[in-house]
Amino acid sequence: MTIRLCIFGNSHVAALRDAWLRHPERWPNITADFIGAHRNGLLETQIDGQRLAPFTGQSATYFAAINKCNTVDLRAYDGFVIAGALVSAAVTLQLYREARWPELPSLAKTALKKRLLISDNAAAAFCQAKLAARLGPLFATHLRSGGVTAPIWITSQPRLSAACRARGCSPSKTLSRALRSGDGPALSALFDSAADAACQAAGARFLAQPEQSRQSALLTRPCFMNGAIRLTGLGREKQPKQDFMHANATYGAAVLDQIAAAALP
Amino acid sequence: MTKNQTPYATLPARAFWRTASPRHDIYQPATQLSSELKIATAGSCFAQHISDMLRATGLTLLDAEPAPAMVSPALARRYGYGLYAARYGNIYSARQMLQLLQEAQTGKPNPRYVWPHKDGYVDALRPRIEPEPMASIDEVLALRGHHLRRVAELLGKTDLMILTLGLTEVWTDRATGRAFPICPGICGGAFSDDLYVLLTQSHSEILADLTEILALLRQFQPKMQLMLTLSPVPLSATASAAHVLLASARAKSVLRSAIGEFTEQNIGTSYFPAYEIITQPSFGGPYFCADHRQVSKAGIALVLDIFAQAHGLTPATDASIHPVKPSEDELICDEILLNSFAKPAPAI
């Protein structure tokens, strides 16, 4: 039995497409088409009779340049994947910058003069609400409201590359503080559960970042990130060296394995 | 003595029913407001309108417990943020306010006031501050301790406290006298006559509480001024055995009377007549929604207009009054829960 998948995404879909192009034989029971668009390109579409087409010039440009198409027949697929799409663990760090909550192990040692203490329930609800407004869940809702009934999976955006620490250029003080304080696992777990709830509310299922790719709970092992390529229609254009956000084909393959496990009976 | 020699001869137009202009004369502020003045709000659900009104006039409203920046205003309100100057929830009675100030002085939450609810626990002194109960007693106490510290910090920098009172019926802990915002057993705890007793505050009790509130506020900030308002929203229910209309009239009358005497006796205190603006026909009202209980948007707008005009402030557009634009029934109100106990009205 072969499952026909349409894999949507923003720049993070490039890792999955790269893995697929390199090792298509690894997933013999899947056929996959990849539809990528930067920024809000996926949302700037309309669904008419289950055909998805861009309605802004920007979106049409993405569809033409990256995907070489101007419309997607949604009826041709047994399931849909939305890759990355801003469903990112950075949301929990955004909350962590201002607040603490009882589930965090560091709470006992934290002076709360500047930071707010919020409840565990509030932390979960705030993260869920923030994630629900991100591209992934919004696009899933868009597909559902357009009549799509097939399964939709939303894959996690990869956590930042651990290489950012090795090179001494940690991109945020909050992340460094979280890693030092021992709050990483709790923040990571909060993200996974909040993303799961946000995706469910949008009619989709969340696929968390593959365990083997994680490092220190909030980072991604460099071997899953080094050599990432950009989402373009021009082939293999590498991400700049300072990019710590995008994953490579090894990561893409791990995610495709997850998708296959979820999609195949 | 001729007619011209009586005390009435020299009174201004506002002293006479025939010549008083309700809109222009009703409120003569004792306190000058400016954007430099740091204002805190507290009180019954109607006080949420007062908070919104103050924001709309560009005044500096303190917020000791702001929601994290990533949280939308609507979600923040569901979790008790952005309603008042701190997350104390609704404070319906003078007794509740007094005890909050006393607790903020000590900074020590009491585990006695943690109620079990559903599969968790709630803070009995603000049981609906969050939509779901917390997982443990420790969590409730940690959150309350944090809240008390923030309240103490808030009071230390407040120039003007605006307190809106609403109720005289208060459910209290029989052993300690601690007042709750809502009857135990409704959203947490279990009601028991042995544990809880209804206190219906008298004029003298409210007056005494207000006097102590002022003294405590000034321990935090010696120059703090206190502006009182009275919620025009009638009681949702009464446990007094009286008809709810009569109980409402009693509560509002006693509160209004005590507030009047208190503000006449204490320098640095004042009264803003939102109650009269909403309820008196002279203003074109009364301004209530179809349920004759919630205040209508037109009423809120009139209150804002009179307040702003008296203070020489410019009210902003309706959009900035409510960043979330809650409708009347979206106000965060504990008392409204009592409606669920009402039996269907008998057929006439």
Give pLDDT tens digits for B60-87.
899 999 999 999 999 999 999 999 999 9
Residue A204 domain-assigned (yes or no): yes
Residue A4 contacts by C-beta under 8 Å, 6 or more apart in sequence? A30, A31, A76, A77, A78, A79
Q: What is the pLDDT confidence band of residue B89, given thresholds at 50, 70 and 90?
A: very high
pLDDT at A169: 65
Residue A95 domain-assigned (yes or no): no
Interface pTM (ipTM) of the complex?
0.90
| CB pair distance less than 8 Å for B69 and A98 | yes
Instruction: With a cut of 90, say whether residue B319 has pLDDT above it.
Output: no
Mean pLDDT of A250-264: 96
In percent, the amount of chain A with pLDDT more than 70 equals: 96
Mean pLDDT of B305-328: 66
Q: In what order do the strands lie in the sheet with A30-36?
A: A30-36, A3-9, A79-83, A152-155, A205-207
pLDDT at B203: 98
Nearest CB to B68; choose among A119, A120, A126: A126
Q: How far apart are CA B257 and CA B212, in angstroms?
A: 17
Q: How far apart are CA B108 and CA B88, in angstroms?
A: 15
Residue A141 domain-assigned (yes or no): yes
**Structure confidence by residue, pLDDT tens digits, B181-200:** 999 999 999 999 999 999 99
Number of residues assigned to chain B: 348
Q: How far apart are CA B307 and CA B294, in angstroms?
A: 20
Residue A122 domain-assigned (yes or no): no
Residue A247 domain-assigned (yes or no): yes
| CB pair distance less than 8 Å for B68 and A120 | no
Q: Give the phi and the psi of residue B95 in degrees, each rounded to 5.
A: -65, -40
Residue A68 contacts by C-beta under 8 Å, 6 or more apart in sequence? A233
User: Within an 8 Å CB–CB cutoff, is residue B107 touching chain A?
Assistant: no
| CB pair distance less than 8 Å for B68 and A118 | yes
| CB pair distance less than 8 Å for B146 and A119 | no
Per CB-CB distance under 8 Å, the chain A contacts of B142 are: 102, 107, 117
**Coil, strand or helix at B306:** helix
- Is the omega angle on the peptide bond into residue A185 within 30 degrees of 0, that is, cis? no
Question: Which of A148, A129, A176, A172 has its CA nearest to residue A81?
Answer: A148
Per CB-CB distance under 8 Å, the chain B contacts of A128 are: none
The token duo for B346 is 């008998």
Helices (H), chain B: 22-25, 46-56, 73-78, 94-106, 137-156, 203-220, 244-265, 274-279, 297-311, 318-321
Residue A93 domain-assigned (yes or no): no
Residue A224 domain-assigned (yes or no): yes
**Structure confidence by residue, pLDDT tens digits, A57-92:** 999 999 988 888 889 999 999 999 999 999 999 999
Lowest mean pLDDT among A142-151, A164-173, A235-244, B146-155: A164-173
Q: How many domains does chain A have?
A: 1
**Structure confidence by residue, pLDDT tens digits, B220-249:** 999 999 999 999 999 999 999 999 999 999
**Structure confidence by residue, pLDDT tens digits, A206-222:** 999 999 999 999 999 99
B163 contacts B42 by C-beta, under 8 angstroms: yes
User: Within an 8 Å CB–CB cutoff, is residue B239 touching chain A?
Assistant: no
pLDDT at B171: 97
Whole domain around residue A235: which residue ranges? Answer: 3-88+132-166+193-263
**Structure confidence by residue, pLDDT tens digits, B120-160:** 999 999 999 999 999 999 999 999 999 999 999 999 999 99
Q: What is the pLDDT confidence band of residue B57, given thresholds at 50, 70 and 90?
A: confident
Q: How far apart are CA B173 and CA B260, in angstroms?
A: 29
- Domain at A9, CATH number: 3.40.50.2300
Mean pLDDT of B99-112: 97
Tell me what the pLDDT averaged over chain A comes to: 92
Residue A99 domain-assigned (yes or no): no
pLDDT at A71: 94
Nearest CB to A117; choose among B72, B135, B143: B143
